[in-house]
Every structure is written in C-alpha cells, then in structure tokens.
Chains A and B, each alone.
Chain A
C-alpha cells in the first residue's frame, strides 16, 4: 500500500521509489525453493496432471528467478530435468513390442509437445529476455533438440525407427495395407525436428531402399512382360509413389522418388524397351496402339534423351517402310494407288503424333524429313503424284463432295513439298493437264483452278503462269469458234461436220512433234475454212493441226440396225471414215491412206477391235498383234446398252520407259539455263567468289525447284567462262571473277 499522505491533493509530487512489494529475497534457499516449485510443476505436467497448477504462480516464480539473475541456472536445471523425463519416455518406447513401437513413439511425442508448450508459456519471460541476449536456444526449440538427441537419435531407437518405417513402406509396396495415419505423424515429427533430421534419418535410406526395390522389380518384369505391360506397371508404380508422398511423406520427397522410379524402371532399360521385338515402339506404331504410344511418350518424357530415342526410332522405321513402299515393283504398277498409300501413311503418322505425342513439333519435323528422304528415292514420284492429281480431277470421280476434294488436294500438296525435283513434276503436270483439258475430261474448272492456286502459293507465279495460259487459250478458242460460225454463211457450212477448235499457244502447251495425217475430205474442207477465217483476223500467225490430240463424235449405223454415237480420237475417226467407202481393209492399206505413224496406228486399231464391249471393228485373225496383212471389217454385230459409246479415252497413263527417258532428258536440258542464270546472278552481286562457295550458293538458290548436280554446275561454269561471262583468277585457280 502506498505510504504517506494520500490526501485529496492533486498537486504533482516528485516520483518516489517505493520499496518492493514483496520481500526482497536474500534467502539463500531462494533458488532451490523456486526451482523445487517449477520442478514439481513440470513433473505434474508430464504426468498429465496440470489442472491443479496455477499459471500465474509458476510464471511469477520463473519471472523472479530471472530478475534475480538466476536465469543460467534455471536454464541448466530445466535442461537436466527435461532430459530425465525424456529418458523415462525412452524406456517406455524401447519396451514397446513390434507394431506398438510407432504408436508408443507417437504417444510420447504428443505428450512431450504438449508439455513443452506449457513449459515454454510458463518460462516465457526467460525466453524473452535471457535467451536472446545470451544467444541461447529458445525453450521450445531446445526441447525439440533434446527430444531429437535423447530419443530419435538414441542408439536403441534410431535404427529401429528407420527400419520400421522402411519395412512398412515395403509391405505397402507388396500389396499390404498399413496404418498411414501413423506414418504421417511420424514423418511429420521428423520434419518438425528439422529438415536434416528428416533427410538423414528417413529420406536418404528411403531413396536407397526404393532404388534397390525398383531395380529388382524392373529386372523381374522386363524378363516376362511385353513392352506395353511393362510400361503400364511403371506408370502404376509412379502414381503409387505420388500418392504415397501426398499421403504421408513430405512434399519435397516427391521429385526425388519420382526420379528414382524413372531411373530404375525406365532409364536403365530404355533401349531394351523401345526396341523390344513384337511389342516395342515399332510394333505399336504399326498397329496404331494409341494408348500404349501415349503412355510411352509420357513416361519417357521424364528420361533424359527419352524422347530423342523414340523420335529417331520412329524416323528410321518410317524411312524403312517408306523405302520398301517406293521401291516395291508391285506398287509401281499403279501410280494412283502408290500415291494413295503414301497419303494413307502420312495420315496414319499425323494421327499418331497428334493423339499420342501431343503434336510434338520435333516429331512432326522428323516425320517430314523421313518422308522427304524416301519419296525422293524413287525418281518417278513426281510423275506419280501428278497422275494421282489427274485421276482426282477427272470427271466421274469418287469424291463427289467439293470439300473432300479440297482436303485431298491439300494433302497431296504436302507430298509435293517433299519432292526434290519439282521441275520434273511441273513437266508432267503440264502434260496431264493438257490431256485433261483437250479431251474434255476435266471435272470442274473450280477444282482445276484451286489446284493451280495451291501450286502458285507454294512455288511462285512463274510455276503456274504457263498453266494459266492453257486455260486462257481454251476460253479464247471458244470465242473464236463462235465468231467463226457467226461470220461464215450457212450455205458454205451446210452438210459440213461441226467443228470445235482449240487454238493452243505454242509456248504454253507441252510440245509434241506431230506429223499430220490424212484427214477425211469433209473435215479438210471445213477446217480450211476455219483457217482462212482465223488468219484473216490474226495476221502473221501460223496454225498447225495437231491431229494426235483431237477427238470426234461419229454417228454410226451398224448392219444389225443399231445406231450409236461413237466418241473417238482423231486418228480413230480417220480410220473409221475409210470404211464408208470400203467394206474391208488391210492394215497396210489403212496405214497408207491415213498416214498415221505406225505405233499410234496400231494402238488405235487395237482399241477399236480388241477391247471387249467396244469392238466396233472386227479383225482377222483375232490375234492381239497386228501384222501388215491383217484385215479389218466393220463389226455389224456391235451392240451396246448406251447410245453414246466412248472408245479409247485419251487418258493420261504412266509413261513407257522410252517416254520416261525422253522426259527426263528434256528436264535436264531445261535445267542447264536455270543453273547458268543462277551462277550469273550470284557472280554479278558477289563479283569474286571461290569454287566451293559458288556450288553452295547455286544449290541453295535452286533447291526449291530441284537439286542441281555438282558435275553439271561445273560444266556450266566452264561454259560461261568460254563465253566470257566469267574468268578464272590468274593466281588462284579456284577463284572466279565476274566479267561485266
């Protein structure tokens, strides 16, 4: 109580220092008494008997001890005391048998934690003041350290704890059910004691044991399992370990255990798995096993170089399959089928990469380069692709739907891009297009133009300018023919056959030398009238009839009374018209009268006499070959369900070998000026260049069209030197200089 005058005065007084309220302790037993109090209280706490204790009293006891500078001793005594209690606990834990070991450990751990909290709260003042200034461990942490050293790291417990945990995990891996809650609290305890405790006492041995477990399992499985089964198992184990971590391990372990499983089960057996016969990657690709492929991709994504390996195995498989496809003589018999198979193959792998390899760009690139590799192994690929397009663009095609046709053509363009000899393709495409246009077989103008646009987008304007010229010619010709009929008087044209003329500009259309044959007089008359009309309006031009490219519709009445309209080629018309004046003719006679070249004539007669259902003529003898003395008659027994009968369409066919040779020669010839132009272009801008650089630059420039042959380039350079476009450097024979 305050001494002295309380009074009512409010006047300020100098502060007075009062003596302590409590007795000033000079009692030598102060420390012991105070400690005794705390000591007993702690004992009660550890015995779950705290309810009778007064927090305030204990707090005040500790507070006073610290104020009286007894903190160090208090700390020491506390340490000793806790150690004693912990040693008691350890005895209990050691005594626990078998499965009860972890339970007892957990129970004691909980007790200790709770007691520690209470002790810390009571000793809060010491924690606040003495400990920071003297750099001691705070009470709670200190208590954890004591637990760690006395219990967890004790010789009797440390090994046993680690072994127990690992045994339980092993049981779970072999299919038994374990107490996961207990596992979780135990690992959490280790984490609470510090990351290094968790890692040293548990995680490291765990990873080691796991590694040998999975090493063993992988050996066992790989001996008896197919690849797909094995991968399923690996996947199963990976997700099992994932779950294990989330259920009762620390999250940082996840990455490490995944790495162990991946390493043991996948990385160590990668080659063997991927290349496994009858069930490995190749087998999965062949059988379109999407699920297995997806699994393989996902799993090997974790392995260094995993995807690279898969990709290269896939690429060589594609190259091998593709190579056998393009070099198989059976396949080469049907070009359309050949290309269709290529498209199917491309579709197949596009799907696989899309579905199973998540559209991985590097895989798409590998696919592209594999295709590029094997398509060019067959030098007829450009021709075949053109034939395929030809087939699709003809009348009466299966893809009735325009959209479907577009899709197919787009896919064909993909194949086109792989070609190294695009100029060869251009030549064939021109030929086939000409035949389509002139025989009236092109299915749809829109589709033709759409294809041209695609080619133009891919290769540039020059590629398609001549092709477009062909379309223009046809349009113009229509107008010209109309003009002819409009302006010529009808008397002149009475009884004359109706003609439809297509005027082909020489540069735009594929050149073919043509010896004109002898046309029937009716035809000659009207065609000359046309020529006169045309030259009247177009001075200075020259017209040459291309008799090998035309066609005619003839009305025929046969001996048996049947009437038909026959659609035939010009040559065939010439032959048939002869029979208006003779009943029978020999081959020699026909040849003389028509002046048609022998090879063409024979083909023509064969198609008129020997094709079942279209035998307009009869031949004696009925052999396939045509000898000079064979005779031909009109087949009076000819019948057909249709009124209009088509004979021998001028369809594009794959070339015979001599034709093939000729085309290739022409292409090689065409390439020479292109190479020269490239050389000149390069030298003009660079002025001086060495041999190797020229080779590289020329190849780079011409690559979009074709791969230039180094020997040919060299020859062209020589030729240019001769013609004084270039010169060799006088000192260095490998350097060239441009001459202006």
Chain B
C-alpha cells in the first residue's frame, strides 16, 4: 500500500472562522488541512461548519473521522479540489478512481454527502 503521496503540512491552529482552512483527521491520525471552501463541497461538512451552537469542531477548526482511513480521506480531499476547479470552467478532466478503493470511497462519500 503506497503511503499517501501528498502529506499536507499541518498549519498552525487557526481558530479563525473567516480564514479559509479546516483540518480533517483520518482514523490513523493523519491530518489534512484544506480550504474551508473545498471542504464545503461536502454537504455534511458544510452543515457541520455552519451549524449554529458552537459544536466542538467549529470551535477547534478540526474534524476527526474515526471511521475514514487516510487513503480514502486523501482521495476525498483531492475530489474537493477537483470539484471546485472544474465546477466553474468549461473544461473537465476525468477524476481518476482506482477500482480497489471504490467501495470504501463510495461509503465515505455517502457519509459525507458529497
């Protein structure tokens, strides 16, 4: 199993709501820092980040997914950016999905409503 190709460097914890990043943490503890805008491609994440009432995730700016493995979470982050990039433009490039992760990916996608 190839190690995750990209390992986004963890940034300093920004408790800044307006700044654009949020940290997504996989089962194994890998931390992926992505723009909030990218994260909100997932409806679940969007709800989570915009829900009133100050859940712990919004206050700390990070979300733990005990049930999503790193390689899946990584793929999902890639998907976020792919989606943002090609949603506006006229060109589309194919989003590559390795067949062996398809099922897990789909389940995560279902979970995240994305």
Contact = CB atoms under 8 A, between A and B. Distances in A.
A428 B2 CA distance: 120
Interface centre among B2, B27, B59, B111 (most CB of A within 10 A): B111
B56 interface: yes
B88 interface: no
B100 interface: yes
A125 B110 CA distance: 9
B103 A15 contact: yes
A13 B57 contact: no
A59 interface: yes
B55 A55 contact: yes
Nearest to A50: B53
B89 interface: no
Contacts, number: 75
Contact of B59 (A51, A63, A128): A51
Contact of B52 (A16, A59, A63, A117): A117
A21 B52 contact: no
Contact of A56 (B52, B64, B69, B113): B64
Interface residues of A, number: 31
Interface in A67-120: 114-115, 117-118
Contacts of B54: 50-51
Contacts of A118: 51-53, 55
B19 interface: no
B93 interface: no
Interface in A1-22: 1-2, 6, 8, 12-13, 15-18, 21-22
Contacts of B67: 21-22, 60
A571 B75 CA distance: 128
B13 to A, nearest CB: 17
A609 interface: no
A22 B111 CA distance: 14
B48 to A, nearest CB: 4
Contacts of B58: 55
Interface centre among B47, B55, B65 (most CB of A within 10 A): B55
A125 to B, nearest CB: 7
Nearest to B70: A1
A54 B113 contact: no
Given A2-B1, A15-B99, A18-B104, A54 B53 contact: no
Interface in B3-62: 27, 43-44, 47-48, 51-59
Interface centre among A12, A114, A121, A124 (most CB of B within 10 A): A121
A654 to B, nearest CB: 92
A543 interface: no
B63 interface: yes
A6 B1 contact: yes
Given A2-B1, A56-B64, A15 B100 contact: yes
A225 interface: no
Interface centre among A12, A59, A115, A117 (most CB of B within 10 A): A59
Contacts of B51: 55, 117-118, 121
25 contacts: A1-B69, A6-B1, A6-B2, A12-B99, A15-B103, A18-B103, A21-B27, A21-B67, A51-B59, A54-B56, A55-B56, A55-B58, A55-B63, A56-B57, A56-B65, A59-B48, A60-B67, A63-B111, A114-B52, A115-B53, A118-B53, A121-B47, A121-B48, A121-B51, A125-B111
